Amino acid sequence: MPRTAPAGDTRFFLIMALVMCTATFSGFLLNVVTGRSSFSEPLQVHVHGIIFMAWLGFYLAQHATAASGKFALHRKLGRLAYLFIPAMMVAGTVVMVMSARARGGPFFFAINEFLISNVMMLFTFGGLALWALKVQRHTGWHRRLMLIAMSVLTGPGLGRLIPAPLLIPYAWQASIAVTWILPLVAIYADWRRDGRVHPAYWWGLGIYVGMFALSMVIAYSPLGYAITEWVIAGTPGAERPMHAFLPPGFGM
């Protein structure tokens, strides 16, 4: 990251990184504290958790090094992203498939949404993050595209902080829409500071929203249903309804 980056601009991205990482971690912590999650999950789930939590630390470290002017260290650490991103895409996909097969995913999501749209959102993160790395010499594009990519990853954490069962049948859409607040805050900050919005935000958020819309079209298409049914065939996940539902006796 070049030394010409405005100090106030750099502080803003550090604050946004802190907010996104804290919100994401808080969602998972809430599930552990309330007993919705446990440490008795299969090994693949723990590996997935370690990789994604390590990414949060890495993302924060990158913004901290930039904010403190340690640009050489920032660039050296940045090379780890080329390992992190594909590892996250693989680990995330494996766990989504496991969850769909084991229990049909969370009951407040339709299985086809959880499987098809969720995987596509993960790959949207990967694509945006890799694009951000490709243009890292262009600081304005690099940090903004990475912010949009990171906002995609806040979905699972923020989704655990909202009352998803009360939002059926729109819980999945709500868990995604809430992540758009973060880029909108960043867009407003650009406009307020510079009187214009950097094109990286329009491209990044446009791709994110567009890919989400496409993922829903595919999820509810004959192909999406066929893929979902093929993945969960003969497993406990196939025993629950395809659509979102409230289990008998469920209480908040």
Residue 247 falls within a domain, yes or no?
no
Helix (H, G, I), strand (E, B) or coil at 6: coil
Q: What is the DSSP letter of 243?
A: S
| 242 located within any domain | no
Specify if 162 maps to a domain: yes
pLDDT for res 3:
42
In a domain, 32, yes or no: yes
Does residue 241 sit within a domain? no
For residue 2, tell me if it sits in a domain.
no
Tell me if 141 is assigned to some domain.
yes
The reply to whether 224 falls in a domain is yes
Q: Please state the pTM of the whole predicted model.
A: 0.91
3-state class (DSSP) for residue 113: helix
pLDDT at 5: 52
Check residue 9 and give its pLDDT.
Answer: 82
Give the structural domain span for 190: 7-235
How many domains does the chain contain in total? 1
Per-residue pLDDT of the chain (252 residues; tens, 9 = 90+): 344 455 558 899 999 999 999 999 998 888 777 766 666 778 888 899 999 999 999 999 999 999 888 989 999 999 999 999 999 999 999 999 999 999 999 999 999 999 999 999 999 999 999 999 999 999 999 999 999 999 999 999 898 899 999 999 999 999 999 999 999 999 999 999 999 999 999 999 999 999 999 999 999 999 999 999 999 999 999 999 999 999 987 765
- pLDDT score, position 30: 81
